[in-house]
């Protein structure tokens, strides 16, 4: 195999952004002026037209907000490199969005993320960052639909609880309860309708995990069946704390449900899922609470961040490079789409 063939073989594994960077670096050897000195001099790939889906008549058409613009001479459509992607309509580039994704998975609050971005020369408002973060979480929801979480082999399942939160909501005279300061304990002792249940199941060692909320206080057997159906493989050993809603799940899904409290061997424990609960509670404190209506979005962030089986760059490529107009979420979607209403 020649050097050129070997380089081409290795280049196939590079992401789109890395390929563009590689081409620009190669061009530096043929020009005294660096091709990466300005966004306008970046070599951009030819894209398909978002309307007629052809690139035969697509030509470059200047720049818009520092992004390469194109026009399709066949149908007259103008678009930029981020059209029909998660970054559609944003004035910020992939680098800033990747930084927001990184801070989101790290559990950094919005205020601290604003300061972090400002230190890198990017001034962004709290509200703009809020919408960027939630658009990322909506993209994670889309990814969850395409690639559902699945667990198998040995799985530990348990529940954790967080207080109901109406963070960001203005209370009117007809509100169901009076507003309270963050950190105020629930008015009722023990488990009550003031506590939101987060059902969790985590595969031991390097497997996937499931994190989802569907009810207040203790979940019913119907809740548990709805959460885990389609996500737990047949034949799985499902370890629980003995709550009476799980035996029905075992019969429906064809899995073996065992109560660790009735077993003496050290193998039967819930250490992994308890560690996940500690991880969630720590993030919850860092966020200073999460509005209950957005809780399932954050549950997907917890899932992505807990074991982080892909790098930030790989996840960014999967989220930002996908071109699907049905997955372009706007500000209205952030406020209304897939909210948890319980």
DSSP sequence for 25-63: HHHHTT-SS-TTSSGGGS-------TTT---TTEEEEEE
User: Helices (DSSP H) in the chain: which residue ranges?
Assistant: 3-11, 16-28, 94-106, 110-119, 126-146, 221-228, 246-253, 271-286, 295-306, 312-320, 331-336
pLDDT for 224:
94
DSSP assigned state of 206? T
pLDDT for 317:
85
pLDDT for 258:
94
pLDDT for 182:
74
Gap between the Cα atoms of 197 and 216, Å rounded: 5
Q: What SS3 state is found at 329?
A: coil
Q: Are 72 and 81 in contact (CB under 8 A)?
A: no
Structural tokens at position 110: 């919005």
Gap between the Cα atoms of 253 and 232, Å rounded: 7
pLDDT for 1:
56
**pTM, whole model, 2 decimals?**
0.78
Task: Compute the 3-state secondary structure of the chain and give helix, strand, coil in percent, each to the nearest 5.
Answer: 40, 15, 45
Q: Report, as ranges of residue numbers, the positions in the chain whose pLDDT lies below 70.
A: 1-2, 16-17, 24-25, 27-46
Contact residues for 265 (Cβ-Cβ < 8 A; gap 6+): none
Q: How many CA atoms lie within 13 A of 81 on its CB side?
A: 24
pLDDT for 33:
40
DSSP assigned state of 170? P
User: CA 68 from chain center: how many Å?
Assistant: 27
pLDDT for 153:
94
Q: Cβ of 165: how many Cβ atoms within 10 Å?
A: 20
pLDDT for 315:
87
Q: Are 112 and 102 in contact (CB under 8 A)?
A: no
Q: Are 61 and 53 in contact (CB under 8 A)?
A: no
Give me the residue label for tokens 């020369």: 121
Gap between the Cα atoms of 196 and 163, Å rounded: 6
Q: Cβ of 180: how many Cβ atoms within 10 Å?
A: 14
Q: Are 85 and 326 in contact (CB under 8 A)?
A: no
Structural tokens at position 211: 């994190």
Gap between the Cα atoms of 130 and 334, Å rounded: 9
């Amino acid at each position: 195999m020649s050097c050129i063939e070997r380089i081409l073989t290795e280049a196939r594994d590079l992401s789109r952004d890395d390929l563009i960077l590689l081409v620009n670096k190669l061009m530096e050897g043929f020009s005294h002026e660096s091709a990466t000195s300005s966004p306008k001099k970046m070599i951009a790939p030819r894209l398909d037209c978002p309307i007629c889906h052809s690139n035969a008549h697509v030509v470059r058409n200047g720049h818009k907000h520092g992004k390469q613009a194109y026009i399709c001479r066949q149908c007259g459509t103008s678009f930029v490199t981020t059209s029909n992607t998660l970054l559609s309509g944003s004035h910020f580039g992939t680098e800033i969005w990747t930084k927001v994704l990184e801070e989101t998975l790290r559990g950094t609050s919005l205020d601290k993320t604003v300061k972090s971005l400002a230190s890198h020369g990017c001034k962004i408002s709290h509200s703009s960052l809020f919408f960027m973060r939630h658009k990322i979480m909506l993209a994670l929801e889309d990814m969850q639909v395409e690639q559902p979480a699945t667990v198998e082999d040995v799985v530990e399942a348990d529940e954790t609880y967080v207080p109901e939160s109406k963070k960001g909501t203005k209370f009117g005279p007809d509100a169901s309860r009076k507003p309270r300061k963050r950190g105020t304990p629930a008015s009722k002792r023990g488990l009550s309708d003031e506590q939101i249940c987060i059902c969790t199941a985590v595969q031991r060692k390097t497997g996937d995990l499931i994190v989802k909320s569907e009810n207040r206080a203790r979940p019913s057997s119907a809740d548990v069946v709805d959460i885990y159906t389609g996500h737990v493989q047949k034949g799985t050993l499902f370890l629980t704390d003995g709550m009476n809603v799980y035996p029905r799940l075992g019969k429906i899904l064809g899995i073996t449900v065992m109560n660790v409290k009735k077993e003496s061997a050290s193998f039967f424990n819930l250490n992994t899922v308890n560690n996940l609960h500690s991880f969630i509670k720590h993030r919850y404190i860092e966020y200073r609470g999460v509005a209950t209506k957005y809780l399932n979005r954050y549950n997907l962030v917890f899932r992505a961040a807990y074991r982080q089986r892909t790098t930030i760059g790989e996840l960014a490529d999967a989220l930002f490079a996908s071109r699907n107009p049905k997955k372009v979420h706007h500000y209205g979607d952030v406020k209304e789409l897939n909210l948890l209403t319980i």
